[in-house]
Amino acid sequence: MEKKSTAATQSIPSATPLFLLGDAPLVSGMRTSMALLAASAALLLMVSLAAAADMSIVSYGERSEEEVRRMYAEWMAEHGSTYNAIGEEERRFEAFRDNLRYIDQHNAAADAGVHSFRLGLNRFADLTNEEYRSTYLGARTKPDRERKLSARYQAADNDELPESVDWRKKGAVGAVKDQGGCGSCWAFSAIAAVEGINQIVTGDMIPLSEQELVDCDTSYNQGCNGGLMDYAFEFIINNGGIDSEEDYPYKERDNRCDANKKNAKVVTIDGYEDVPVNSEKSLQKAVANQPISVAIEAGGRAFQLYKSGIFTGTCGTALDHGVAAVGYGTENGKDYWLVRNSWGSVWGEDGYIRMERNIKASSGKCGIAVEPSYPTKTGENPPNPGPTPPSPAPPSSVCDSYNECPASTTCCCIYEYGKECFAWGCCPLEGATCCDDHYSCCPHNYPICNTKQGTCLAAKDSPLSVKAQRRTLAKPIGAFSGIAIDGKKSSA
């Protein structure tokens, strides 16, 4: 979605257009000498800056193969990275090496004052930018949808807003969470805003369930395949509330909606509204009052590898990631938004990014002012329902009129002739993909079978893979369900 990356170095224009000797009028010898001296000094300064901005190339060139591999091994140990496919570690190393070079170049330019932010070897350092974008970005915008615009936070000339806001210090922002390899950023963004307004109104910070949104909010949103924060707010309103994270914990995958937990309404909201669009001043007014759900374009390479500082990298308004604006401020004369991400505390500034604020474009940095929205709440929550009762055991998986597999598994044919299956196997995964080798199977969120490698991929050419599972033999009807073919209880 984002197609540009921040340039690592600034090209230095030729000195000739800045000082055209042939076009200069004749002046006294002293004035000419002084002009030449000034031009030489300017040219020397530009060359020095160019050299400083290009230091990383020299630095990178000095890195030996041994040093880069040592850094890679340390990075793998720090992030717990393992690879299942043959040759995958070497492919990941090449991506790591290329990202390291990009980081070196950018940080050298930052040292020279070209950038106000730094990059680092974070959790995405072994991914190409294309792989990162295809796996971790999941916001889905719908420009033609009816929006609930409100004048509540419409900017006015007489607004008196705080110079800085940080909702973390007021207890309205919970610990940074991690969406993992599931494109559920929209759920984390919406939940952060609901947790925030609930704390502001009731005084209680209650971590809420993103998994309930992933599993149950399926009318418009698509779980790990993306969604929109406003639709998440609508679900919570229509459902009469949402469960706690403790009772309905995050699983990093799409699951069957748990009806009992869905009915546990721990926190409620009254409604939701959209901030006036393309107005950073209105967004500032909103953030001064509560944490706000925002969508941004986060697909750039600089965003992928962001480590610290005020982000000024190249980005547009192709909104592809949901986050939460939880504050704003100014550092060294540069205004910024304080944004909570959902990639764990090891990304960015302990899970946060500071993004340039009050830029010339009305859309704001990376489109942050295009689609901000927030939940509304005035009253208390319903009485705590306590832990939900255990859900009934799911039924067994019926393969055909004669065979079945245990509950929460998938029937996969292990011997077929023509279009008929003559022997069934059980994959120990719910909603699994049955691989063509009639032997292995893959999780539904890693649906691409690589039978040669014995792995399952999250998407074609994705670096994320897991080991394929083996099928076991199905059993006659009644073996797992306790119901025989003739309807009588089985003794199995």
The DSSP string of 51-88 is HHHTHHHHHHHH--HHHHHHHHHHHHHHHT----STTH
Q: Report the pLDDT value the prediction gives residue 9, as an integer from 0 to 100.
A: 36
Q: Report the pLDDT value the prediction gives residue 141, as an integer from 0 to 100.
A: 65
Copy the structure tokens of residue 385: 């329902």
**Burial environment of residue 447 by CB neighbours within 10 A (0 to 12, 13 to 18, 19 or more):** middle
CA distance 396 to 366: 48
Pick the catalytic residue from 224, 315, 321, 450: 321
Copy the structure tokens of residue 391: 């859900």
Contacts of 94 (CB under 8 A, 6+ apart): none
Of 462, 150, 94, 134, whose CA–CA distance to 298 is shortest? 134
Q: Report the pLDDT value the prediction gives residue 202, as an integer from 0 to 100.
A: 97
Q: For 316, list phi and psi in degrees, rounded to 5.
A: -120, -140
CA distance 107 to 412: 51
Helix segments in 129-209, DSSP class H: 129-136, 185-202
Q: From residue 106, how far is each of 96, 447, 475 by CA, in Å?
A: 15, 36, 60
Q: Is 405 a catalytic residue?
A: no
Q: Report the pLDDT value the prediction gives residue 446, as an integer from 0 to 100.
A: 82
* 400, 390 contact by CB (below 8 A): no
Q: Report the pLDDT value the prediction gives residue 221, as an integer from 0 to 100.
A: 93
Direct distance between the N- and C-terminal alpha carbons of the chain, in angstroms, rounded to an integer:
54
* 191, 213 contact by CB (below 8 A): yes
Q: Is 239 a catalytic residue?
A: no
Contacts of 61 (CB under 8 A, 6+ apart): none
CA distance 402 to 407: 16
3-state helix, strand, coil in the chain (%, to 5): 30, 20, 50
Q: Is 321 a catalytic residue?
A: yes
Pick the catalytic residue from 182, 185, 224, 412: 185
CA distance 254 to 241: 20
Helix segments in 270-381, DSSP class H: 280-287, 301-304
CA distance 303 to 318: 14
What is the torsional sign of CA 347, 300, 277, 184?
Answer: negative
pTM for the model stands at 0.74
Alpha carbon 455 to chain centroid, angstroms: 24
Profile the chain (492 residues) by mean pLDDT over runs of 10 residues.
37 31 34 43 44 40 87 94 82 96 96 96 95 81 68 93 98 97 95 99 98 95 92 97 97 91 96 97 98 98 98 96 98 98 97 98 98 96 78 81 90 92 92 92 88 84 79 86 40 31
The full set of domains in the chain, from first to last, is 16-115 (no CATH), 134-376 (3.90.70.10), 397-476 (no CATH)
Pick the catalytic residue from 99, 107, 221, 341: 341
Task: List residues bridging with 473 in a β-sheet.
Answer: 425
CA distance 81 to 89: 9
